[in-house]
Structure formats: C-alpha cells, structure tokens
Amino acid sequence: MSISRRTMLAGGAGGVALALTTGRVWAQGQALDTAYVNAMLWTGQGTPTLSAMGISGGRIAAIGAAAVKAQITRGTRIVDLGGAFVMPGFIDSHTHFLIGSDLLTQPNLRDAKSPQQFTQIVGEAARALKPGQWVQGGSWDAELWGGELPDRSWIDPVTPDTPVAVQRLDLHMLALNSVALKLAGIDRDTPEVPGGVIVRDKDGNPTGILKDAAMDLVKRAIPAPTDADREVAVRNGIAHGLSKGITQVHTTELDWMTHDALCRLRTKGEPDMRFYSFLPLQDWAKVKALVDAEGRGDDWLRWGGLKLQYDGSLGSRTAMFYQPYDDAPGSSGMPLHKRADVQQWVNDADAAGLHVTIHSIGDQANDEALDIFAATAAKNGARDRRFRIEHAQHLSPTAIARFAKQQVIAAMQPYHAIDDGRWAVQRVGTERLKGTYAFKSLLDAGAKVAFGSDWPVAPLDPLTGVAAAVLRQTTDGANPGGWLPEQKLSVSEALRAYTATNAFAGFQDDRLGRIAPGMLADFVVMDANLFAIDPVKIGATTILKTIVNGVERFNA
C-alpha cells in the first residue's frame, strides 16, 4: 500500500521534497504562531544559552530574544519555559517499530531472572488468552540466569493447549513450546534451514529454540493481526516514543508490514511522529517501482531505504567472526545470505539510486559489508550514497579507518554496549573486545556515528542511550568507571549522534537535526540541562514537551 501522489512532492535520488502539509512556506520576518521564551537552548552546536525561539508554519522562524520579539503579533501564542532545556528532537536511527509497539501490550520476559520466573510469566500470559491465541512478546535474556537456553519442557506444563513463541531480547531467537512446534510442523525430521539453526537435544528432537532464518518456520504458522490491530499498535508506539522525546524513527525492517501500516496512518493524517521506512534489500526492484510511481514520500513518512541482515547476533552466537566463539569453539557464526547475492543486490539497488544499509555485527561480517560497499561504489561511480552499516558492533583493526575513508555511516546502539558488556568477553575474549562498540575510535577517525535503540531489543529511550554512551556503565553495576572506558563520548558527541548525524543518515540534514531558522520545528523540552548535570542523572531527566512540526505532540 502507498500514499497517493497528490499528497506529496516526489524527491530526487538522494532525498525527498518538502511536504505541502502546512499551507505556508517559511519566510524570514513572518509573524510567529508560537514563541518559546526563557529557554535554555542548545541548537545542536556550542553550549546552551538562555534564549528564545519562534515558530511559524511548522518551521523555526527566529532564534534569540530580539528576533523573536520583533515577529510576535497579537495572534502569537507565547510559552514561557522558565529556563527549561531545549534541544533538537531525538531521532532514533534503528527500530523495529511494529514489533516494539506490539510488545507494549504483550508479556515482558525482560525481568525474568530464572527459569522459574520465565515459566511463571508465560503461564500467566497463556491463562489470559482466548483459545487459539498465541503467547508472543518475550525479550527474554538467558544470561540473567546463567546462559542456559529455554527448553519446551519449561513451559509445556503451563501451556498444554496454548502455542507459545517468545523472542529473545535481540530478536534472533524464538523459544517455542510443543504446541507451537506441532503447529509449525517442526520435528526431529525437519531439515536444517540455511542461515538458521533448529536447536536439538542429544536425541535430535527440537528443544523449542529457533535461531535466525529458522524462525520463519513458525512465523508462517502464527495468525497475522488485522490491519486495524497493527494501526492501533503503531499509534501506541508513537505515543510511547513521543513521551521519550523522539520526533522521528528509522524503521529498519525485513518485511513490509510496518511500512504498510504507516502508509495507512499517513492517509488518515499526520502520524504525530516522523518515519523513514527501510524495506528489504531483496525487494529493491519493487521499491524502485514505488519511487518511480510516487516519489519517496514526504517528511512525515519517507521511503527509498533498503536493509539486509548479513549475520546474526552476539547473544545468539550467530554473528560472523573470523575466529570461533570462545564459549562455543565449534562455531564462528554464519552469513545469512551468500556474499555474491548480497553484492548483486547492493549493486542493483545503488544503481537504481536507492539508499542501502547492511546489518553486520561480527568482525568478518563488517569487513565483508565494507568490501561490498567499496566494490559497488567503484562499479557505479561517485555520488552521495550514504551507505550505512547497522550495529557495526565488533570491528577488525583495519575496519575503523575504512568507515571514514569509504564514508560509510556506523549506525550503532549505545545501550547494547552496557547490556552486552556484562558477558561479551565470554563470547569473544579480551583481544577482540578492542574493536567493540568503538564509538570514540570511529569519531576520532573521522567516521560518522549515528545512534539508535534497536527497540524493542533495547528501550526506546534516547536519554538512556546518551547515558550509556557517556558513562558506559554496564547494567549489572560491575563497571562503575565504564566498560572499555576509552570509548566514552562527551555529552555533545552523544547528542549529535542522536540528532544531526541521524538527520544526515536519513538525507534530512538540510531540515532536521538542528535548531536554526528555516529548519522544521522538531524539538524537545526537558527539566534539566544535560550539559550542566552529573552524567549519572541523564537517564533520569524528564521530558516535558515533544514538539513535531511546531505542534506539541506530548506534554507532561
């Protein structure tokens, strides 16, 4: 599904045109709709100063007390912020938005710290369902109880008739009960799936754990929600994101479900939050046809980005490394697609003028993604393509400089560092940690680092991410001075990665990510100056207002 061409202007190969949604074009000296005064304003550079900001027609029209005062008329609404901190709206460069939105109303296993608690939560969820419904949700983390993966025997007694398929927090594993295995047709005779793993016991019977591509076996058996269900879920997710100061997210999906739901919402009006929709790289021809027919959307919902998942995850031991895992010496991870296929897809998509990003976590996966991008750029010629690598999590000694040299954006998630930092050394040892979550090294090399959450793998909360990047204190409290502390960022570096760099990573740096006259009026108001408080308090800062396109979409 797509939006009618009449509602937007088509953009060029690298960006999009501005939407005709406000009815007015910003011009200097124009009367203000709203004036925000007594604001401790951080424009995206320099230091915060007490200032004022004027909004007109969904855009920033004036900065500074004198300029704002000169444009105030009798119809201007004046908002005295009383010294509250104001900064550009947060952009989250990596979310699984529909999945995360669904989880807001599904059982949460994130706090299950033992197999017994895992069983209890699943059983309670099953008892609340109608016959035939599935227990989904999840976000379980086996590391919280020592690393043993869930087994169907844990939950079969409390779910004798209810199918269960709950996700590991990284979205790279599913835990199933026997009912779900039967409905999916998975048994000891089911062959292995390329790019996936069916975990089996010593007798060859499935334990209930499916990894990566093997998860598709059961996903086909789960009844699909209705369009209306998905729209309600996305609306819930939008409200949640706005409450965290987020004004735009990039939806880095491997299917079209989120995109289609967002298109339906867009036809009904503004969705309150902006979206940049990435679609499967393998569908590049379909996306190219959409762009040719209808452009790239508008500044509320844009498309033209493509994503491929090249390897798995560290937690699932499916991220692709040169050397085997220290705690699983028989495995070094795996690619989820043949390299030759990926190279062809990237070549074709890039030649079509589309925007490509690749999920790579292991050191070998990152090197190969960089190789693929280099070969494509050499083949298709110079242009402003803004290739991205999602996660860029474990980098070889030569990879960091290559990000800068090749102008590839590292789209990273700082919360993962403080989460994985509890146990990553068990997977890859001390030596390979030197290139892990290398935020500072990448920036110092001249690379662009964009920040996101990977929601629901991590909280949809940029302030938590900023605190993680600045402090790098692991969630178990074991690293008060920071895990790999040489990779800590300053507050301004972390904030730019959540604002201006994310705007650049989405081809919107000409109108988002900074506070300046002519920019779209997306900003957030908080109760504390992030530059003045102890960094340990950043995560506890309260979002007071979230403004998108000049309209207050959240007000505490």
pLDDT score of 21: 29
Q: How far apart are CA 411 and CA 405, in angstroms?
A: 16
Could you read off the pLDDT of 223-243 as tens digits, one per residue?
988 999 999 999 999 999 999
Region 256-260 average pLDDT: 97
Q: Would you kindly state where each structural domain of the chain is located, as residue ranges?
A: 105-219
Question: Alpha-carbon distance 453 to 91, whole Å?
Answer: 10
Phi-psi region of 357 (alpha: psi -120 to 50; beta: other; left: phi over 0): beta
| Digit-coded pLDDT (tens) for 282-338 | 999 999 999 999 999 999 999 999 999 999 999 999 999 999 999 999 999 999 999
Q: Give pLDDT, residue 493.
A: 98
Confirm if 142 and 426 have CB atoms less than 8 A apart.
Answer: no
User: Residue 432 and residue 94: Cα distance in Å, rounded?
Assistant: 25
Confidence bin at 137 (pLDDT 50/70/90): confident
Q: pLDDT of 57-78, one tens digit each?
A: 999 999 999 999 999 999 999 9
For 370-394, how does the pLDDT look when each residue is reduced to its tens digit (9 = 90+)?
A: 999 999 999 999 999 999 999 999 9
Over 90: is that where the pLDDT of 15 sits?
no
Candidate from 4-18, 26-40, 455-469 with smallest mean pLDDT: 4-18
Phi, psi for residue 541 in degrees, rounded to 5: -65, 140
Among 371, 427, 422, residue whose Cα is nearest residue 394: 427
Q: Give the C-alpha separation, 469 to 191, whole Å.
A: 42
φ, ψ dihedrals at 464, nearest 5°: -65, -40
Q: Which helix (H) or strand (E) holds 276?
A: strand 274-280
Q: Which one, of 76, 45, 70, 182, lies nearest residue 550 by Cα?
A: 76
CA dist., res. 391 & res. 385, Å (int): 19
In the chain, what percentage of residues exceed pLDDT 90? 92
Burial environment of residue 234 by CB neighbours within 10 A (0 to 12, 13 to 18, 19 or more):
buried
Is residue 17 over pLDDT 80? no
What's the rounded Cα separation, in Å, for the pair 453 and 435?
Answer: 20
Residues with Cβ within 8 Å of residue 315, at least 6 apart in sequence? 141, 143, 168, 169, 170, 172, 173, 420
pLDDT for 224 equals 87
CA gap 506, 501 in Å, rounded: 9
Looking at the predicted structure, is the pLDDT value of residue 8 above 60? no
Check: CB of residue 196 under 8 Å from CB of residue 213.
yes
Q: Which two tokens stand for residue 131?
A: 């016959």
Report the alpha-carbon distance of residue 415 to residue 470 in Å, rounded: 11
pLDDT at 147 over 90: yes
Task: Enumerate the H helices of 191-256 as residue ranges.
Answer: 216-219, 227-243
pLDDT value of residue 13? 35
For the segment 431-450, the average pLDDT, to the nearest whole number, is 97
Q: What is the pLDDT of residue 110?
A: 87
CA separation for the pair 544, 525 (Å, rounded): 5
pLDDT in the model for residue 25: 41
Would you tell me the crossing angle of helices 339-351 and 363-380 to the nearest 10 degrees? 40
Specify the amino acid at residue 215. M
Mean of the pLDDT values across residues 259-275? 97
**What average pLDDT does the structure give for the chain?**
93
Q: According to the model, what pLDDT value does residue 67 have?
A: 96
Residue pLDDT, tens place only, 82-130: 999 999 999 999 999 999 999 998 998 988 999 999 999 999 999 999 8
The pLDDT assigned to 6 comes to 29
What is the average per-residue pLDDT within 195-203?
95
Q: Regarding predicted confidence, which is higher, 4 or 556?
A: 556
Phi, then psi, of 523 in degrees rounded to 5: -155, 170
Which of 79-98 are b and which e, b meaning 16 or more Cβ less than 10 Å from the residue's Cβ? bebeebbbbbbbbbbbbbbb
Q: Which helix (H) or strand (E) holds 291?
A: helix 284-294
Q: Which one of 166-170, 222-226, 426-430 scores highest in mean pLDDT? A: 426-430
Question: pLDDT-derived band of residue 4, with 50, 70 and 90 as boundaries?
Answer: very low
Q: Are 499 and 452 in contact (CB under 8 A)?
A: no
Residue whose C-alpha is closest to residue 405's, from 374, 369, 364: 374
Q: What is the predicted pLDDT for the residue at 23?
A: 31
Single out the residue of 14, 84, 69, 55 nearest to residue 519, CA to CA: 55
Q: What is the pLDDT of residue 28?
A: 57
Phi/psi of residue 350, nearest 5 degrees:
-65, -40
Nearest-10 Cα torsion for 100, 106, 112, 117 = -170
Please give the CATH topology (third level) of the domain spanning 105-219.
Answer: Diaminopimelate Epimerase; Chain A, domain 1 (3.10.310)
